[in-house]
Structure 1
Amino acid sequence: MIHTYDEAVSWIHSRLPFGIKPGLERMEWMMERLGHPERRIKAIHVAGTNGKGSTVCYLRHILQEAGYSVGTFTSPYVEQFNERISINGTPISDEEIVDLVNVIKPLVEEVEQTELGAPTEFEVITVMAIYYFGKVNVQDVVIFEVGLGGRFDSTNVIYPLISVITNVGFDHTKILGDTLTKIAFEKAGIIKAGVPVITGAEQEEALEVIFEKAKAVKAKPYVLGKDFEVKDYKAMENGERFSVDTLFSKYRDLTISMFGFHQVKNAALAVMVADYLRVYYSFIIEEEALRSGLEKARWIGRFEKVSDNPTILLDGAHNVEGINSLVETIKTHYPDKNIHVIFSALRDKPLEKMIQPLADIAESITFTSFDFPRVAEAKELYDQCEHAAKAYEEDWKAALKNKMSEMKEKDVLVVTGSLYFISEVRPFVKTNKN
């Protein structure tokens, strides 16, 4: 029996050594024992290489503004563990975490004695979320973010109203495959029979895979740039302005406070999902709710300005596509500034391909490290960069303090890399900024 929140979270994290285990057998076993809570959830399932969290955030805010109560399951967390399971953006309580662990822990201990083996940390958290939203606190709709891939991801036991694939790019290639076709096959694994799939994927080879899977299970695909599209994009000082044409409506001069054209595409996906829910599932979503939801959406750690003096931006750009989007957004919104970069990432990422675009726009680039499994050492990153003004400091707090003290009026400090790194940096910067 678990009695405290700290004990509960420690037990969950104790599952980390079991790593990543593709497959749904353990999840299906636990769903059966819990009385299939996944069948009681009105769900939306979101997969993709980048933009999942932002798309979830936009859609949640739209639905909330329309008067619906919305559950979300997201990962990783930035400020506190509980935020992975939230209602209307508010993390569930410490007491609820304890209660959920006490329900799930006996099942986990039972299944690991079978030939199915020990559930992973992510499987445990997913079961907690599904049980919570299916049995403890049923919501009008729950948005589930895929953890990794899609086909064998533990969230894939749900049967959603709509499936969403934000985009397809190179990440987790050792698990998902080393070609866009292979990666798209894993993402397309969330497509269910008769369930529409809305996607922002752009590459022909990825779309071919998605179309093939959709056709096989009689699921209607809707593609950004074909079935719905962004128009009249304009970068603004405090965000972005754009229009979206769906098959059902035309939305003019929408605004978001998140920066970058990639965020415009994520917002367009959320608009299309909301429009589909309105037309085919009778959700009451007025245009004003959609506009207001997009305007109010905030997603911490994604091109987030955490200080004005000095200007400090945090961005969890943890793969090549994320880095490229970050670089383009910096060029659009800070064209006349001196960019200084602090970077840390996990060793299993394509580090050279991530470092080079940053080095190309940076006045200086500092590499650092943090306490996490698989993290690359600062010197290891430093050695992969040719920049004339490069440096390394293993202690990320020292690296930040040094750089913050050197900042001048035209300087912008961009702290980027692993989302786990950003989750440590964010509270430190907000506490220590001038």
Structure 2
Amino acid sequence: MSQKNNIKKYIYARKKERMGLLNIFVCLSLYIIAFVALTTEVIMPEVNIKILDGLIITGTLFCAYLIATFFHKRHVECLENKLLYQYKCMETIFSNVYISIFLEDVEGRVLTTNAGQLDILGLKPKDVIGKKAEDIFLEMPEEYLKMRKEVFKTKKIAKQEIRIKALDGTYKWFRVGHFPVLNKKNEIENIIILYLNIDKEHKLAEIKDDFVATLTHDLKTPTVAQLKALDLLLSNAFGDLNENQYEIIKQIKNSCKYMNELIFTILDTYLYENGNKKISLNQFCIKELVQEVINETEYLAKDKEQTIKVMSNIIEGNISADRLQIKRVLINLVTNAITHGKSNTEINIYLETEYNKFKFEIRNNAYYISEDNIEEMFEKYKTKSTSKYKNAGSGLGLYLSKRIIEKHGGRIYAESFKNGNCIFGFEIPLLQPDVKSISNQIELE
């Protein structure tokens, strides 16, 4: 009710101020007219202006004054009703929105608040008004106080997720927004703090983590066992194989390897998206890694009678990156070039270093891909949108490759020409920043 009373006081103050000025103006006008009428009659009687004329003018002005006063009063009443209606709307929203809203002063004391989600913490509005956040909650995270200082320093909106201890001793997750309110001097007058409970989101994230971990474990275990058993068969551990048996078992092994890679792709995609994936930086020879990938995928090229050639201007070939993750990118790009390339064609791989960057590019002859479809191919589950690329797949390969390259500070790209030439490639820095002076593991955002 205090805000409502403030609005009324403001309106009446403005009304009194305006009416006071109007009264002064009218009174002065009446005095001036009466004085002019009297002095004119005395000093210049030949003008023959009578006092009655002045009184008639005075009466006319007074009537005008009454009319103006009436309409002014109506205007003030309309303004009052409009402001009170707007206040009522804001009060309804403020009181019923299921988000806790704190209006704090520059010292951090809560000036006003709503019920919002305070019940989750076992609090009521009367428990928080006049207090600071660190005095309200049982435990206030240090990052909250740091964020508040940052808001005063930058005068910009800031958001964070924090865990707050409720009165019953349990911890609750909240998404908190800090919104500075600036005055005409661009100084912070107040801060609006919004608290949104996100316990359900965190619970869902935990369920997803458990599901992905269980799924990948249950899929990986039998797949790895199959690969080991197939290796034993191929090594003639249980007897010699004829040529046909050898080729069939080799194809089965390649299928199992594809399944194993797909499982890791799904797992890594999930970890990258949730910020739980780390890259391990180390020095290795990129030329050797490219040849290793070609050896592992050449069986696919043979089936389509394709030849793979490597052209390089690299002398030493050492780069600083996560070898396992870069290999995943290379396998994906080479496999795509083979799978979607035309039969009886040549696939060319170019390795270059310039301006402290390593550049990998693979070119083949395939179907034309429009610019719109090229952009979609690097999005999750979008690779099937291109009509010529409907082979079975997860739709995650290029998306994951993009995430890996970007986390290495590089970029991935693709081009397609109507004559059938296609280019896929990426470039990354030769040396990652501070690779020698910091821990070998960089946590991905």
TM-score range, shorter chain: under 0.3
Larger Rg: 2
Q: Which has the higher contact order (CA 8 A, sep 6+)?
A: 1
TM-score normalised by the chain length of structure 1: 0.22
TM-score normalised by the chain length of structure 2: 0.22
